[in-house]
């Protein structure tokens, strides 16, 4: 039992989880379609706190989060949906259908609406 406790203690002292944005925060990003010059804007409302996760010798990961998001095409509301997503994978999925002119790093392109700063500005331990 002592060995198990040591393993858990070591794991929980090396793995870090941190809340970086509260429920209700709004994030957004824009991409242009690679087939047509149409601009798509995603406005994402967090339905729970946004958290980051870090293991030793690995990069920081955003944990999956419940969201509601609006999708606008050239300024007109196209869709409204709720989901449980990885923001990084969500951005990557849509980035892959874009013209590729924006940064592929979701931390640099997803913006906190209240401050107009990218997520990378608050992703720190």
Nearest to 27 by CA among 76, 67, 78: 67
Longest dimension (CA), the chain: 62
Is pLDDT larger for residue 46 or for residue 15?
46
> Cα dihedral angle (75, 78, 83, 87), rounded to 10 degrees?
-40
Nearest to 46 by CA among 9, 2, 17, 85: 85
Res 54: pLDDT: 87
Res 113: pLDDT: 98
**What percentage of the chain's residues is helix, strand, coil (to nearest 5)?**
25, 40, 35
Is pLDDT larger for residue 79 or for residue 17?
79
Region 97-118 average pLDDT: 97
**Residue 12 pLDDT > 70:** no
Region 8-25 average pLDDT: 84
pTM of the model as a whole: 0.86
Res 11: pLDDT: 66
String of DSSP letters for 59-103:
--EEPPEEEEEEEEETTEEEEEEEEEE-HHHHHHHHHTTB-S-S-
pLDDT digits (tens, 9 = 90+) for 33-67: 999 999 999 999 999 999 998 887 788 899 999 99
- Beta bridge partner(s), residue 16: 54
How many other β-carbons are positioned within 10 Å of the β-carbon of residue 60?
Answer: 16
């Amino acid at each position: 039992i002592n060995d198990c406790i040591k393993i858990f203690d070591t794991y929980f002292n090396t793995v870090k989880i941190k809340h970086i944005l509260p429920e209700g925060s709004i994030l957004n990003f824009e991409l242009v379609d690679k087939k047509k010059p149409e601009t798509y804007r995603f406005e994402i409302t967090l339905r729970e706190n946004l958290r980051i996760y870090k293991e030793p010798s690995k990069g920081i990961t955003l944990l999956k989060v419940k969201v509601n998001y609006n999708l606008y095409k050239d300024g007109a509301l196209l869709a409204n949906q709720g989901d449980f997503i990885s923001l990084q994978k969500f951005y990557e999925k849509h980035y892959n259908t874009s013209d590729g002119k924006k940064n592929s790093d979701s931390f640099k392109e997803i913006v906190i609406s209240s401050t107009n700063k990218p997520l990378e500005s608050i992703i720190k331990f």
